[in-house]
């Protein structure tokens, strides 16, 4: 009886170890967002492009862009020169093996089109959703911004 009991304990131990190995840690969504914010603040549109999913969606008010090409051109490139010093403040976040999200508030410095005018301060709410693609890389799948009216910088 003892040999069977010993085999059972050994098999259970091996089974539990293999299950622990299969379980993967969720991604750190804050690190993903910091990659994005760092690229944005350094005006590195090429790096931002590598972070976007092919089927990315961007929503801001009534504006909705779809797909990497459109989001890259109409949001990233056209907006990048008008804001700087993007900062986010997370309120909620979560992640599992395939999807991660973070939402909260953001602030930016707004650069006026006429350099004679004072800079502005923008703020609002954000949500970023990341998904793991078929190659196992994390890509920004959905970005939503709700911004408040820009105020003159103090």
Assess if residue 20 is contained within a domain: no
Assess if residue 47 is contained within a domain: yes
Assess if residue 17 is contained within a domain: no
Assess if residue 5 is contained within a domain: no
Please report, rounded to a whole number, the percentage of residues in the chain having pLDDT higher than 70: 84
What's residue 98's pLDDT? Answer: 94
Range of the domain at 116: 26-152
* Domains identified in the chain, total number: 1
**First vs last C-alpha separation in the chain:** 81
Which residues touch 93 (CB under 8 Å, ≥6 apart)?
Answer: 29, 30, 100, 101, 102, 103
The pTM score is 0.80
In CATH, what number is assigned to the domain containing residue 107? 3.10.450.50
Assess if residue 128 is contained within a domain: yes
Assess if residue 36 is contained within a domain: yes
Assess if residue 13 is contained within a domain: no
Assess if residue 19 is contained within a domain: no
Higher pLDDT, residue 125 or 15: 125
| 20, pLDDT greater than 70 | no
Q: What is the pLDDT of residues 100-131, one digit of tens each?
A: 999 999 999 999 888 888 889 999 999 999 99
């Amino acid at each position: 009886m003892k040999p069977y009991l010993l085999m059972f304990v050994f098999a259970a131990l091996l089974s539990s170890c293999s299950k622990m190995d299969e379980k993967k840690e969720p991604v750190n969504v804050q690190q993903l967002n910091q990659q994005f914010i760092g690229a944005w603040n350094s005006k590195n549109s090429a790096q931002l492009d590598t972070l976007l999913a092919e089927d990315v969606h961007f929503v801001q008010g009534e504006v909705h862009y779809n797909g990497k090409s459109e989001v890259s051109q109409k949001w990233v490139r056209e907006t990048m020169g008008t804001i700087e010093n993007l900062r986010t403040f997370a309120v909620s976040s979560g992640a599992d093996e395939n999807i991660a999200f973070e939402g909260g508030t953001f602030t930016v410095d707004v650069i006026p089109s006429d350099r004679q005018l004072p800079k502005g301060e923008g703020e609002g709410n954000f949500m970023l959703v990341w998904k793991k693609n078929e190659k196992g890389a994390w890509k920004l799948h959905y970005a939503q911004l709700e911004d408040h009216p820009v105020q003159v910088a103090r």
